[in-house]
Structure 1
């Protein structure tokens, strides 16, 4: 990389070179007669003194003029739009939420319920979004629909005129759309008047709708925000929306030219077990390590079976195979609330909801996932709340248990204390929690969005055989054991 050359000041004159001529802006040799040195310095010093006195007076007595805004009700607008002030006024990011046809929002919920034998309702307000780990799309949608007065200290403000918007939010329930039809076909409530829901067709219809919008075309989609929290959400059209800000749980199913930490935002899953209401302490946490979840997974999640093999007979370790159900969640709550450490191995992709279950349980997460990305790392130092162990170390017989038994009680209490401080970031229903932080993360992408939009407009040719520099791979470094 070519570095910009440093600017160097000319060397200072020294007593050893008194004859060095002064630097002149113009050639004045023919117009300035030779003068004694004393007569040249006297007026110069006098002028310098006068200028210094003038500068001092200006500094002491100058009052800056007020900044006027041409809009009426200036004070009201400033109070409404300002978010943080650092060396001046920093306005909230203005976000416009598309008023999508019902099929992309409430219609997805309705189809999900109908596929499970639910009854149709006359009012969308009566529809209930199903509780699952990908419900961030519902929380963001309902947050933007709330009156601005209820969204205190949010980093974004919703605008109803797209011409005023900095960003455009596309509220398609992409994760729920993916699982509308149950895995077991026998449970699908299909009939002639209600065909089976088709997620791929819905994705394609969304893409067609967006491509007709002037605001999509204007900046090639860079200023659009999509939520696709399930690793497979929007898979059919991901190449069409990859310029936008993607709200994802990890990069497990996304290519290097589709997503990156630079332009996208990592979201936490919604925790599925009850938040621990007690205080820090280990007196009631008799188990050393706890895990309950699917033993057999695909891809990176194959490590789960290896961990079962080396841990299931270890003293003080509770490791159980269990699918999602109310009974399983109750057992998981009990186990996490009474254990010092909670195991978090990779699932089908690097992340899984059990990490966030552990955090709200004040159960120190033990993360065995070499390529995991974590939410909100600009405000959370995960080394203070979790133990990271690389996969090769974790599956060595006796190694993981020995490592955890070597952690002192004082260190466990320190972990718990930090967990209690940050757990609000993983509570979607907390007004000062997850949703607020997601919007903060989204708003921080605006300078990059403007950069990429302007860059796109001036590029006349690019070599499409190579990856664009707008997407950077984030999974280059290895994972080490950290305590």
Structure 2
């Protein structure tokens, strides 16, 4: 047994040698805890971008999109508005034309307003996007696009042709000349645009791949679509860009020929202009109806599902199915119907989508989308499943299936849908509140999101232009863009 003095000395030595280790351990623990705390603080003080936060999507890149505005003659944009407002002939396609009931015709205005006629207004994206670029540069501090005066400095070339207005003026005449070339003023304007851009050095340099056209009306630039195939096309959907194989015996979808000039790879889906006013979440009231729909019962092509749904739902309690279009008295009916119903039905029509969807979102009426081939604006920036109900056509056409499915969605879940929807409402708004559309755009609005989407296409555009340059003369390679 060691002497007490030895034991004491050993004990003292142990304490002396272990004390620094304890201090080191405590110090290391303190550093580790501090680092974890700092990491958590940074994480939660700067969260990852959310699909439902439009502001975050625009802050993802600070570099503006450099846009050159093609110098088209005024006859191809704002003069068309002068022509429209100077006409005393009402639109033959609607029973009450709100524009031609006015005494004031908006003459002698440099930037006339866009028509209120709902058949035309729903496609007004061309007006608001062009208006952004026409706004004086000192007022464009909120725009994601920077207008440049040297085409060699531009990322893209914007072609300010009011293609929809041109087509709709021709359609409104009711002369049956639209699909013909002879006597068709819209066709003449289309050819004028093509001749102008194709003779420019910018088009020859890129083959048109960095040119941007707004074609929100399904029939816009109908006769020259093959010629603008390489360009970036802003469309509301791809429904008007397909045709059936003429050899098809039954017209099934498997016999569809896809026009290779439209694709999610290069083109952009943009919103329709909503026709109903925005309902803020704070103004939302108790909704006593389950489901609402207003529109035409009979449609063509993929829209035949609408007639079948109508017959299934028209006599169901808590469901309103109304014929009509949101103009005049129909507009007030639509406002009332969408604001008092939990859900708004959105079946496919002649094309997979319509402005009805965007009216529902602005009305905080949960969209019920029955359209298997639908494409939606700004996907990747917004997740529509956070505030919409997607239903397969086959399920929706089963008796009682849709009604029972909607009834099972809890009130809590419905409120969550509306909260998400309220955050997305500004993203789908074109109107900047300024006369003639000339003035600062909303930073989180549709115009800026459209520019942001164009910017996302730039790497693919530049790669394609470079690849085209190395093709030997006379070699023709078919277009291979495919929408998936």
TM over 0.5: yes
1:293 positional shift: 0.8
Distance (whole Å) between structure 2 residues aligned to residue 473 and residue 348 of structure 1: 19
Q: CA deviation at 1:196?
A: 7.6
Does the CA-based 8 Å contact 2:326-2:334 persist in structure 1? no
Asked whether 1:94 is paired with 2:41, we answer: no
Deviation readout 1:419-451 (Å, 9 max, x if unpaired): 011111111125121111111111111111101
Q: How many residues align?
A: 380
Could you tell me which residue of structure 1 aligns to residue 25 of structure 2? none
The partner residue of 1:165 within 141, 148, 154 is 154
SS at match of 1:303: helix
Aligned equivalent of 1:202, options 185, 189, 195: 189
Q: Quick one: which of 404, 407, 415 aligns to 1:405? A: 407
Name the structure with the higher helix share. Answer: 2
Q: Distance in 2 between the 1:127 and 1:240 partners?
A: 30
Q: Distance in 1 between matches of 2:188 and 2:314?
A: 44
> Which SS does the other structure have where 1:237 is aligned?
helix
Are the aligned partners of 2:287 and 2:339 in contact in 1 as well (CA < 8 Å)?
Answer: yes
CA distance in 2, matches of 1:344, 1:166: 37
1:357 to 351, 356, 359: 359
CA positional deviation for 1:208: 1.0
Which gives a bigger RCO, structure 1 or 2 (Cα 8 Å, sep 6+)? 2
Q: Which residue of 1 aligns with 2:339?
A: 337
After superposition, the Cα gap between the structure-2 partners of 1:409 and 1:357, relative to the gap in structure 1 and judged at 3 Å, is same
Counterparts of 2:323 and 2:105, CA distance in 1: 36
Q: Which residue of 2 aligns with 1:23?
A: none
TM-fit CA distance, 1:110 = 2.4
* 1:128 alignment partner in structure 2: 113
Q: 1:388 to 1:116 in 2, by over 3 A?
A: farther
> What is the rounded CA distance, in whole Å, between the counterparts of 1:112 and 1:304 in structure 2?
33
Q: How much does 1:247 deviate?
A: 0.3
Query: Aligned match of 2:225 in 228, 238, 245?
Result: 238
Q: Does 1:450 align with 2:462?
A: yes
Among 460, 466, 473, the residue aligned to 2:483 = 473
Match of 2:96 in 1: none
Larger radius of gyration: 1
After superposition, the CA RMSD in angstroms is: 2.5
| Distance change >3 Å, CA 463–CA 414, structure 1 → 2 | farther
**Equivalent in 359, 364, 369 of residue 367 of structure 1:** 369
Matches within 5 A, 1:83-482: 91-117=63-89, 123-125=108-110, 127-131=112-116, 132-183=121-172, 185=174, 198-254=185-241, 255-279=258-282, 284-429=286-431, 431=442, 432-460=444-472, 467-469=478-480, 471-474=481-484
Match of 2:266, SS state, is coil
* Deviation for aligned residue 1:128: 2.1
- Mean Cα displacement is larger for which, 254-263 or 333-342? 254-263
The CA deviation string for residues 327-355 of structure 1, in whole angstroms up to 9 with x for no partner, is 11111011101110000111210010010
TM-score (normalised: structure 1) = 0.74
Instruction: Note the residue ranges of structure 2 that are not aligned, 5 or more in a row.
Output: 1-57, 90-99, 242-257, 433-441
Taking the aligned partners of 2:123 and 2:68, their CA distance within structure 1 comes to 22
